[in-house]
A and B are shown apart, each in its own frame.
Chain A
Amino acid sequence: MATPASRATAATAPPPASTLLEVRDLRVEFHTRDGVAKAVNGVDYAVAAGETLAVLGESGSGKSVTAQAVMGILDVPPGRITSGEILFRGQDLLKLKEEERRKIRGADMAMIFQDALSSLNPVLSVGDQLGEMFVVHRGMSRKDARAKAVELMDRVRIPAARERVTQYPHQFSGGMRQRIMIAMAMALEPSLIIADEPTTALDVTVQAQVMDLLAELQRELHMGLILITHDLGVVADVADRIAVMYAGRIVETAPVHEIYRAPAHPYTKGLLESIPRLDQKGQDLFAIKGLPPNLMDIPPGCAFNPRCPMAQDVCRIEDPPLFHVTYEGLTAERRSACHFWKETLRG
């Protein structure tokens, strides 16, 4: 395994008892006609039961690919997991047979997708699709499954569930469809939910409702939630921890309030500064200069160095490990993959 020594020490520490999912040094490549795109380059993260981990990053930072690898729905080929472990309740999912993984999907871990309209089959009624969860995993009869579907729709507060259970996805509004997706994911009360930008396709008022619903069900079922997003506003409300991804790596991970108070990586800092503020009226919006790196040609050293205002020579040569960030008053674990995290933290 090509684990850099510095990170191996972090990865081999035994997970705490409550850890539900732990990803260790995950690496994913895509083999395309133009070359090999390194989408995920050694990601480590862990989620405990009842915890919400927000995975934050730009498009192409590898956050969705990591999630797909965890779910086991990566398209192989062109995708390929070159190394790493995905421990779910201590069991390495990558060592399981496809049939065993399939049984875990939906029952023990489920996924909510970005666009609920395209994530629901247009030719099947929502009742059929909700009921399918029970037919596939529990071997229920169609009739019982239909009753369960109505129950689920009630639970995600879809009005007139009994009447609407026979309707098709296009007959529901965007927010309702996302509720149905959530109901499908929750159907078998999984212990882990991965929500891939669940509110991006919704308008702002509905976003809040859907996030509230998700957070409420999570509390109720004591699930681990991985929330993939690029919306810092959503994160602040619901997440316990944040993992910031850049070019297929986690560059900073910290408890949510600590990161908002003082980022320890220049990229996180840039993201926070680029949130438009109300008192900024008339001024130019801040943007991180440059573009995310081409995944087929990630710069040597720290992948962020060409865009980093703090970059020094060492950044162009040495890829920083995930340093432990420590300061007075910090109780939980915090890490940053920046040679100059101390300087960044000071502002």
Chain B
Amino acid sequence: MPEPHEPAEGAVAGTGMGGAMDLAASEATTLAAGEAGAGPGAGPGGGPRGGPSAPARSLWSDAWRDLRRNPVFLVSGLIILFLVLISLWPSAITSGDPLDCDLANAQKGSSPGHPFGFNGQGCDVYTRTVYGARASVTVGVCATLGVAVLGSVLGGLAGFFGGVWDAILSRITDVFFAIPVVLGGLVLLSVVTSNTVWPVIGFMVLLGWPQISRIARGSVITAKQHDYVQAARALGASNARMLLRHIAPNAVAPVIVVATIALGTYIALEATLSYLGVGLKPPTVSWGIDISAASQYIRNAPHMLLWPAGALAVTVLAFIMLGDAVRDALDPKLR
């Protein structure tokens, strides 16, 4: 009868879990002792966490706990929070109007009330840099959402159902992978006359979804082969339930990681396209447009280039760092 053996089994489990707890505790100490700037892969060891006494934790709450202690995440998170806030309410930190320009001030350096100086058209560089965040963040976030949703739905379904649809989708993604982004942008966006951010976002989604779709397909195929999916099926779960409840939560992590890193590259791509004159167009305020306009005066008035370019670099870096931190937190194998 099972009863008498029960304590023995519990004891074995207790020892194992206890070991994991100790590890987690020592890790916390190391981090507290200051591991600032540890970069990607911060935090030693790991393994399954949580003992019988700990509250129930899932992959997600575990990841969140890891993230909160990761300086890379904290720094990049703060930068991104700041960017989002100023793109929502730019007037909070600047009273100027980015389109209020006086040619008399063209190329002037910094002066009281105008810390970053003026650009070639006599517009305040500080105000334009602040307002430029909106275009970058909008393009980055919308393009990433679009890419993530389209890519994971198509890739996930192809991975789950396999067969002909999978083969067709894989060939389509091959085709899209073969299109050079900048060349594609020059061709497709040069025919667009709209002044809004949507054509640029649309173009990024069009070219970006195959990347996510491949990753989603791969991770769905991996998750599909897990015994618990077979077990769910053997206990009567429908396709939709298996896909949404058992496969998706176990397959979504790589998609989130790649999407976060891609967000930074979309912002850079928007600037590239705007620089080339096929992305956003004036009067939209964008770092790419300003960088493009300032590049010819780099020797006379470098401040006109440095501020928007610096803002762009910090933004892209912040998103890529965030992606790294999220990857470290979600992928226990990298610990």
- Whether A associates with B in a native complex is yes
A342 at the interface (CB under 8 A from B): no
Contacts A118-B228, A205-B5 given: A110-B235 contact, CB under 8 Å? Answer: yes
Q: Mark A106-119, 1 if CB is under 8 A from B, else 0.
A: 11001101110011
Contacts A122-B250, A136-B241, A172-B13 given: A106-B48 contact, CB under 8 Å? Answer: no
- Contact in complex: A206, B56 (CB < 8 Å): no
A102 at the interface (CB under 8 A from B): yes
- Contact in complex: B58, A168 (CB < 8 Å): yes
Q: How far is the CB of B19 from chain A (nearest CB, A)?
A: 13
Residues from chain B with a CB closer than 8 A to the CB of A125 are 56, 58
- Contact in complex: B235, A106 (CB < 8 Å): yes
CA distance A46 to B235 in the complex (A): 21
CA distance A105 to B9 in the complex (A): 31
Residues from chain B with a CB closer than 8 A to the CB of A175 are 9
Residues from chain A with a CB closer than 8 A to the CB of B232 are 121, 132
- Contact in complex: B228, A168 (CB < 8 Å): no
A287 at the interface (CB under 8 A from B): no
A184 at the interface (CB under 8 A from B): yes
Partner of A106, one of B10, B17, B57, B234: B234
Would you list which residues of chain B between 245 and 263 have a CB under 8 Å from chain A?
245-246, 249-250
- CB-based A-B contact count at 8 angstroms: 119
Residues from chain A with a CB closer than 8 A to the CB of B245 are 121, 124, 132
CA distance A187 to B57 in the complex (A): 25
CA distance A105 to B234 in the complex (A): 6
CA distance A111 to B228 in the complex (A): 12
Q: Mark B43-75, 1 if CB is under 8 A from A, else 0.
A: 000001011101011111000000000000000
CA distance A136 to B237 in the complex (A): 7
B230 at the interface (CB under 8 A from A): yes
Would you list which residues of chain A between 83 and 120 have a CB under 8 Å from chain B?
102-107, 110-111, 113-115, 118-120
- Contact in complex: A212, B1 (CB < 8 Å): yes
- Contact in complex: B59, A123 (CB < 8 Å): yes
Residues from chain B with a CB closer than 8 A to the CB of A115 are 227
CA distance A136 to B163 in the complex (A): 27
CA distance A73 to B227 in the complex (A): 12
Would you list which residues of chain A between 202 and 222 have a CB under 8 Å from chain B?
205-206, 208-210, 212-213
Partner of B6, one of A123, A133, A157: A157
CA distance A132 to B230 in the complex (A): 15
A159 at the interface (CB under 8 A from B): yes
Interface magnitude class on chain B? 35 or more
Residues from chain B with a CB closer than 8 A to the CB of A159 are 6, 10
Tally A residues with Cβ within 8 Å of B. Answer: 48
- Contact in complex: A173, B237 (CB < 8 Å): no
Which residue of A is nearest B14, CB measured?
Answer: A173
- Contact in complex: B235, A133 (CB < 8 Å): yes
Contacts A168-B57, A176-B9, A212-B1 given: A102-B228 contact, CB under 8 Å? Answer: no
Contacts A113-B227, A123-B58, A170-B48 given: A157-B236 contact, CB under 8 Å? Answer: no
Most chain-A Cβ atoms within 10 A of its Cβ — which of B48, B231, B233?
Answer: B231
CA distance A40 to B9 in the complex (A): 38
- Contact in complex: B227, A119 (CB < 8 Å): yes
CA distance A157 to B237 in the complex (A): 26
CA distance A166 to B56 in the complex (A): 6
CA distance A209 to B10 in the complex (A): 13
Most chain-A Cβ atoms within 10 A of its Cβ — which of B8, B236, B237?
Answer: B236
- Contact in complex: A206, B235 (CB < 8 Å): no
- Contact in complex: B235, A184 (CB < 8 Å): yes
Would you list which residues of chain A between 237 and 251 have a CB under 8 Å from chain B?
none
Contacts A110-B234, A205-B5, A212-B1 given: A118-B10 contact, CB under 8 Å? Answer: no
A315 at the interface (CB under 8 A from B): no
- Contact in complex: B227, A209 (CB < 8 Å): no
- Contact in complex: B238, A120 (CB < 8 Å): no
Residues from chain B with a CB closer than 8 A to the CB of A303 are none
Residues from chain B with a CB closer than 8 A to the CB of A104 are 236
B37 at the interface (CB under 8 A from A): no
Q: How far is the CB of B217 from chain A (nearest CB, A)?
A: 17
Which residue of A is nearest B231, CB measured?
Answer: A119
A32 at the interface (CB under 8 A from B): no
Contacts A119-B227, A157-B2, A185-B235 given: A170-B50 contact, CB under 8 Å? Answer: yes
Residues from chain A with a CB closer than 8 A to the CB of B228 are 118-122
Contacts A125-B56, A157-B3, A176-B9 given: A73-B17 contact, CB under 8 Å? Answer: no
Contacts A205-B8, A212-B1 given: A168-B56 contact, CB under 8 Å? Answer: yes
Q: How far is the CB of B252 from chain A (nearest CB, A)?
A: 10
CA distance A71 to B241 in the complex (A): 18
A142 at the interface (CB under 8 A from B): no
A322 at the interface (CB under 8 A from B): no
Q: Ordered nearest first, which 7 A-B pairs have the shortest CB separation?
A: A106-B236, A173-B13, A209-B2, A106-B235, A111-B234, A118-B227, A105-B236
Interchain residue pairs with CB less than 8 A apart (22) = A71-B234, A105-B235, A106-B234, A106-B237, A113-B230, A119-B230, A123-B58, A123-B60, A132-B235, A132-B241, A133-B235, A157-B3, A159-B10, A168-B50, A168-B57, A171-B17, A171-B51, A173-B9, A173-B10, A176-B13, A205-B5, A210-B2
Given A102-B236, A121-B228, A184-B235, 7 additional A-B pairs, CB 8 A = A110-B235, A113-B227, A115-B227, A136-B235, A157-B3, A208-B5, A209-B9
